[in-house]
Structure 1
Amino acid sequence: MKSLISITSLFLSLIFSSLTYAQSCGSGGGATVCLTATGSADNIALSWTVSGTVDSIQVYRDTDSNPSGRSRLAILSTSERSYTDTTAVAGTQYWYWIKFRADGKFYNSNAATAVREAGCDATAITPYIQVDGAWSQVSSVTIPSGTQITFGPQPVSGGSWSWSDCGTSGDAREQAIAPTASCTATAVYTNSCGATSSQDFVVTVDGGSSSIYPNYNINPLPADMTGMSSNALDIANNITLGFNIGNTMEAIGGETAWGNPMITADFVSLVKQSGFNAIRLPLAWDQYADQATAEIDLSWLARVREVVQYCVDNDLYVIVNIHWDGGWLENNITLERQAENNDKQRAYWQQIATYLRDFDEHVMFASANEPNVADAEEMSVLLSYHQTFVDAVRETGGKNAFRVLIVQGPDTDISKTNDLMTEMPVDTVSDRMMAEIHFYTPWNFAGMTADESWGNQFYYWGAGNHSTTDAAHNPTWGEEDDLNALFSLMKTQFVDQGIPVVMGEFGAIRRTEQLSGDDLTLHLKSRADYHRFVAQQAKAYGMVPFYWDNGGTGNHGFGIFDRNTNTVFDQQVLDALMQGAAN
């Protein structure tokens, strides 16, 4: 018996000592796909071979060998032969499949299984800065020249520290400095198992000048993680499809100034019952604030909180932002306006964050809307606005110390964001930030309302939807392959780095007065196909899609609902969105 046990133990150890597993290949339609999976401390790496011709490759994962209930991780180019799963949890065994299409039908590869090693994880650094004898959990500070401050990051024991720049040196955890110029210090912590982590401390020296507005962070609270356990990736994975209540609370002149009724609890319930589980709430603030002091009218703060409560009561996630707001920020991303706008950004977000501080993780804050940025210099100004936003929210404490925050790319344009947004703001807590882009591509289809010398409107979109009688308004760019190529940029730049991307707005206008008969029918089918495809592919590439609804039910409108009667107006697009988000 003893020898049998030993032999059995040896056999099992040989099976499970390797982190690379593969079974026989999967075949169908004249093609064969052979998949292997290899686990390491950083990820699980997949690789496969393909013989024959395939025209679709998708990666699926599950925590057991039964493919029913598995989840899709990615849709890839048919030329791809590898994929890295960075979201696998250490110590959990996963099974993977390549779903491929050949000769018009879908087939599966073999199931390959692997385990991500536990490894030695780096220790998160919690930054603290002491100014005037008071400690704050922040990583950046603005001070008059020569002010003494102390950096005191945590943990306080268990490893070793090293410092560089900004007058710091040596291995002491606390570093006291009195800078006379703006600078950035870097702390590196090495834990007991040898893994390192780093934290930047940004010091801005203003020469002794102070904000032109009062400090509204008059009651900061200790950090409170109650109801805030989910990080940015968790929340992104929990959102199926989002909805913008557009042209309402951001309207210049008041909530109903642009023709929509006031938001009611019944309308928010209708949105939830129709299948959305998140709301983006575009908001104006500047018109409700004293321009001399930047103090926001309490009645407006109370109205915003009321609508946010409608959302939370329906178990909806909700994004609160500073929208166009008259353009004070997004139209003035310049060095000349940088100091003034940072002061206003700080004053507004101190008040907004304090007033909404008690909401749990269902409420997220977004720095801006569509910031107009042309080049790297303006991008650096925008980054300072975002940094001010992050710092202002975090310093209010309470649940805001852990709230998920969203920062916008330049123009919220994918290509510009890919080119210019090379870094994110510094945060005091890890994995609590998302990036945001908007999507109205191709504009000829999504929003263009008249033919121009440089190009025509696109009335139709997508494979199988080109007109044989109105070829002048068929799309010449911006269809399925172009959209996939753009989405892949965001996946590589952010999603693969652990930063979720919010597609804060997307949609295409309805052209009911421009077209009739078969042309209108084909156009409406194109709209449905477009919204289905964008929702589906956004999710496939790791983004969180929010449909833009401006309440308009006529020509050139985006409205899905009739907000005056609280009924569904555009069932065709609503169904398409839900189908796309579910796949």
Structure 2
Amino acid sequence: MKNNHFNAFGILLILTLMLGLVSCSEDDEIVPSQDVEFGVSPTSMSFPASGGNSIINVNNNGEWDISTDADWLTFSNQSATQSSKITLTAMANSDTTARTATLMVNGIENSQEIQVTQEGAEPEPVEQEITFAIPPDNTGISDLGSADFADQMIIGWNLGNSLEAVGEEGETSWNNPVVTQRLIDSVKAAGFNAVRIPIAWSKFSDEASFTIEDAWMNRVEEVVNYVISNDMYAIINIHWDGGWMQPTYEEEDYVNQRLDTMWTQIATNFRDYDDHLLFAGTNEVLVEGDYGTPTEEYYTVQNGFNQTFVNSVRSTGGKNAYRYLVVQGFNTNIDHTVNFFEMPEDVDIAENRLMVEVHYYDPYNFALNEDDSVWQWGNDAEDASLTAGWANEDHVDNQFQRMQTNFVDEGVGVILGEYGAIARDVEGHEVYRLDYLQYVTHSAAEHGMVSFYWDNGDIDENGFGIFDRSTGETLYPEVVETIINAAQSAE
């Protein structure tokens, strides 16, 4: 019996020890401490001008702290003895200048810099303080916003290569006859209700003061009246005019002075016309021969030309204080307009009276290039090798959608001041030309743009002319019908 008691006790003792060992191995095991590698993320961050919060992660198993000299930044905690997250808060930046700061995270043996940037605030709009030459007068001027007003111009036509012709012979210098009322009557009868009149104004009675000759001012007014008397809309501009409008810092002051002087004279002369007359400041402004993406210098100076134009016209007062004005994107290129155009400031009483002008001749090899190696266009082209390989229907829609999104949908009217495709003496080409004109015209109207077909009066091969400038006869009735129907079908 004694031996049995001993055996039972021994077994119990052994089981107890075994359970203790099991418990210790599963629950009370001590894991040796391991070093945490020092690290900070992110090492750079940026904030909008309005400020905000951002998280910083600090990995460290010892003491660390964070600091900065920037009084516009605050931390949720500036030190700890272990890995932590910090909330960094940036105050709003009321200055228009962007600012930067450096944060320093210091561990026992390591440190890390964090670079912080914040955008500057948008500058406050500068109210145009203009002294009107005579009191403003809105009689005969619509109170519609520019996009709604533009809708009234259904389809337009360019009186190209006539009043903008430079040379001793004046408007006939570029092989077109003198413009007549009969021609404009024919344009109206064909279905167009707006005419863009490109003009070269540098016919000076005093070249030093840029004083425009009375005879030339009167002749331009005569042609404008041909249009207005037909209850059509007229747009007059300063066109190429010899290329004096170079958008460079070197020429900036000179060009702005000349623009101001010339537009003050033009606007004063036409001040009593109602809203059937629109002014367009310039044309395809670029540094002569440079068709690439503009530098900051180029587009900044050109945007300034638009502002000078608006200020000059408004300052003449009367109906010009309210008149609808057309300003241009750089080189009237859609990409450059979307990327670099800045809307001029306007006087308060002329709210939303500005329109934006672009041109469209894509693809160049089909629309303008006189080399007949490219004469087919569109998704239905029979031979891809005879196309430009780009700028088909999708490209038209995408480009015009960008103008709609950035301007029309914001209430700003858009003028497609020039577009078209040259005639070619190539069998089968006319079908593709008609397809092109139909699609571009219709898409422009669908996207809220008013298009003006470019007509240079040249009715031969490689020309754009669709009317006989001497008789007014329609020489390309299919082209005219295609354009008119395409515009009207989108209403």
CA distance, structure 2, for counterparts of residue 185 and residue 398 of structure 1: 31
Task: Please give the per-residue CA displacement for 1:396-440, whole angstroms capped at 9, x wherever unaligned.
Answer: 00000000000110111111111111x200001211000000000
Q: Which moved more, 1:534-543 or 1:442-451?
A: 442-451
Offset of 1:446 from its aligned partner? 0.1
Unaligned runs of 5+ in 2: 1-93, 97-121, 288-293
CA distance, structure 2, for counterparts of residue 313 and residue 398 of structure 1: 21
- For the 8 Å contact 1:266–1:566, the answer to whether it is kept is yes
CA distance, structure 1, for counterparts of residue 271 and residue 419 of structure 2: 29
Q: Does 1:276 align with 2:276?
A: no
User: Larger % of strand: which?
Assistant: 1
- For the 8 Å contact 1:185–1:202, the answer to whether it is kept is no
Q: Does 1:425 align with 2:344?
A: yes
Residues 34-73 of structure 1 mapped to structure 2, 5 A cutoff: none
Residue type at the aligned position of 2:126: D
Q: Does 1:222 align with 2:135?
A: yes
What TM-score results when the alignment is normalised by the length of structure 1? 0.60
Larger Rg belongs to: 2
Residue type at the aligned position of 1:251: A
Residue type at the aligned position of 1:338: E
Residues 550-561 of structure 1 mapped to structure 2, 5 A cutoff: 550-561=456-467
Which residue of 1 is the match for residue 255 of structure 2?
341
Residue type at the aligned position of 1:377: E
Specify the SS of the correspondent of 1:337. Answer: helix
Q: Does 1:325 align with 2:269?
A: no
Specify the SS of the correspondent of 2:158. Answer: strand
Which residue of 1 is the match for residue 158 of structure 2?
244
Offset of 1:202 from its aligned partner? 5.9
Which structure ranks higher in relative contact order (CA pairs < 8 Å, sequence separation ≥ 6)?
2
Which residue of 2 is the match for residue 310 of structure 1?
226
Residues 510-549 of structure 1 mapped to structure 2, 5 A cutoff: 510-512=423-425, 515=426, 520=427, 522-549=428-455
Cα–Cα, structure 1 residues 562 and 224, in superposed 2: closer, same or farther, change >3 Å?
same
CA distance, structure 1, for counterparts of residue 174 and residue 334 of structure 2: 28
Specify the SS of the correspondent of 2:164. Answer: coil
Residues 140-219 of structure 1 mapped to structure 2, 5 A cutoff: 186=124, 200-201=126-127
Offset of 1:203 from its aligned partner? 8.4
Which residue of 2 is the match for residue 416 of structure 1?
336
Which residue of 1 is the match for residue 406 of structure 2?
493
Cα–Cα, structure 1 residues 333 and 230, in superposed 2: closer, same or farther, change >3 Å?
same
Name which of 379, 385, 392 aligns with 1:463: 379
Specify the SS of the correspondent of 2:398. Answer: helix
Offset of 1:230 from its aligned partner? 4.0
Name which of 353, 356, 374 aligns with 1:435: 356
What TM-score results when the alignment is normalised by the length of structure 2? 0.71
Residues 253-272 of structure 1 mapped to structure 2, 5 A cutoff: 253=167, 254-272=170-188
Offset of 1:490 from its aligned partner? 0.8
- For the 8 Å contact 1:230–1:361, the answer to whether it is kept is no
Q: Does 1:235 align with 2:128?
A: no
Specify the SS of the correspondent of 2:135. Answer: strand
Specify the SS of the correspondent of 2:264. Answer: helix
Residue type at the aligned position of 1:262: V
Q: Does 1:301 align with 2:207?
A: no
CA RMSD of aligned residues (A): 2.1
User: Larger % of helix: which?
Assistant: 2
Residue type at the aligned position of 1:440: Y
CA distance, structure 1, for counterparts of residue 298 and residue 95 of structure 2: 26
Offset of 1:237 from its aligned partner? 0.8
Which residue of 1 is the match for residue 396 of structure 2?
483
CA distance, structure 2, for counterparts of residue 464 and residue 344 of structure 1: 49
CA distance, structure 1, for counterparts of residue 382 and residue 204 of structure 2: 48
Q: Does 1:506 align with 2:407?
A: no
- For the 8 Å contact 2:377–2:436, the answer to whether it is kept is yes
- For the 8 Å contact 1:353–1:393, the answer to whether it is kept is yes
Q: Does 1:567 align with 2:473?
A: yes
Offset of 1:450 from its aligned partner? 2.3
- For the 8 Å contact 2:203–2:216, the answer to whether it is kept is no
